[in-house]
């Protein structure tokens, strides 16, 4: 299977009380359903439903977990029916700020802020439309792990097994600080135009580029950056990352690396979506309205694997340790060894794949 598909789930009332009309969810699936073999994969902040497969029409980047999902791979699509949906508020087919509102114009600044629980409510509606009453496994890393947690807390009867990667029970002060600084970079771009830039000559590319650079520093480890780049300089004739970025005659190699990743995101992502999704992550707190973190996590009935990355400075191991200690079905914390920091949950496919395979087996 594979290939982007769409489901219209109708109106969705958000935690704020605002109702989004005519919500559409983009998703992809692999394998064949047998009634008890469905696995839900939840992507991170700038990911999408394209977990597996090459870059192509409708897919601006190749599959982000090709080494983990597929025939004969740890999440084996010969055995499991794997579903991945684009997140509510995103920009890869699911309703978001760039989508057309009922008046025929892009939502833009009028698109409401979301919470992680709103995004899960949309995924629950998708599951209902697909006829999936219970997931064999719900799997998510980083922002995807936030949604996986909410799935297991709010709908424990629908989650048999749970895999949480490099995530937390609540967004920390430092995570919110980094997130809101990235948001400020976008908001202060002159081309942001209050969020209504879709018909303008220029989008807030510089702001989004800077937001991604800030984020990417936190995604990798200090040791990796030191080992890969040190104080090396790029050759004077090396290509700049972003046109008009103010590149000097000599540029530190690490600065060129960040410019490259900023430019890549600008080519495939929407600034308004970046704002809505990071704000949703800022809202993440499983204890909100549920008493305490322990009470909230105590609702989970799924057999659970919790994994963290030993070099992750964005979602440090103490956050995963809290999850492992308070979720009844968790059997301790699995530590993935990696020099790659937070991105280790995407890079260390052999270690992560082994944990996923053992959980689903």
DSSP 147-187: HHHHHHHH-GGGBSEEEEES--SB--HHHHHHHHHHHHHHH
Residue numbers annotated as active site? 142, 312, 342
What is the rounded CA–CA span in Å between residue 251 and residue 245?
12
**Strand order, beta sheet including 38-42:** 5-13, 19-30, 81-85, 38-42, 137-141, 161-165, 303-309, 330-336
CB atoms within 10 A of CB 187: 16
Residue 283 sits at the vertex; the CA angle it makes with 280 and 289, to the nearest 5 degrees, is: 130
What is the rounded CA–CA span in Å between residue 269 and residue 357?
31
Q: Categorise residue 331: left if φ over 0, alpha if ψ from -120 to 50, beta otherwise.
A: beta
Q: What are the counts of helices (DSSP H) followed by strands (DSSP E) for the chain?
A: 11, 12
Among 158, 198, 152, 13, CA closest to 88: 13
């Amino acid at each position: 299977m594979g290939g982007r598909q769409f489901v219209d789930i109708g109106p969705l009332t958000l935690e704020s009380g605002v109702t989004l009309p005519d919500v559409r969810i983009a998703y992809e699936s692999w394998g064949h359903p047998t009634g008890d073999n469905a696995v839900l994969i939840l992507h991170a902040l700038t990911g999408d439903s394209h977990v597996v497969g090459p870059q192509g029409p409708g897919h601006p980047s190749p599959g982000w977990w090709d080494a983990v999902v597929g025939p004969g791979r740890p999440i084996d699509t010969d055995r499991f029916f794997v579903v991945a949906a684009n997140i509510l508020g995103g920009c890869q087919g699911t309703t978001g700020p760039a989508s057309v509102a009922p008046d025929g114009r892009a939502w833009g600044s009028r698109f409401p802020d979301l919470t992680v629980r709103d995004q899960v409510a949309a995924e629950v509606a998708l599951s209902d439309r697909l006829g999936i009453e219970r997931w064999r496994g719900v799997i998510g890393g980083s922002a995807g792990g936030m949604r996986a947690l909410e799935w297991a807390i709010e709908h424990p009867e629908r989650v048999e097994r749970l895999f949480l990667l490099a995530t937390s029970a609540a967004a920390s002060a430092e995570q919110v600080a980094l997130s809101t600084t990235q948001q400020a970079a976008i908001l202060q771009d002159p081309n942001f135009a209050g969020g209504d830039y879709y018909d303008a000559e220029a989008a807030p590319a510089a702001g989004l580029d800077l937001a991604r650079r800030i984020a990417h520093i936190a995604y990798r480890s200090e040791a990796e950056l030191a080992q890969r780049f040190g104080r090396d300089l790029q050759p004077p004739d090396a290509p700049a990352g972003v046109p008009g970025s103010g590149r000097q005659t000599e540029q530190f190699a690490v600065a060129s690396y960040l410019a490259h990743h900023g430019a890549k995101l600008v080519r495939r992502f929407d600034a308004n979506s970046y704002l809505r999704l990071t704000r949703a992550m800022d809202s993440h707190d499983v204890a909100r309205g549920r008493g305490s973190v322990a009470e909230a996590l105590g609702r989970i009935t799924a057999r659970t694997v919790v994994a963290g990355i030993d070099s992750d400075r964005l979602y440090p191991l103490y956050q995963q340790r809290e999850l492992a200690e308070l979720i009844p079905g968790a059997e301790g914390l699995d530590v993935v060894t990696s020099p790659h920091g937070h991105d280790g949950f995407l890079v260390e496919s052999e270690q992560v794949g082994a944990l996923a395979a053992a959980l689903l087996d």
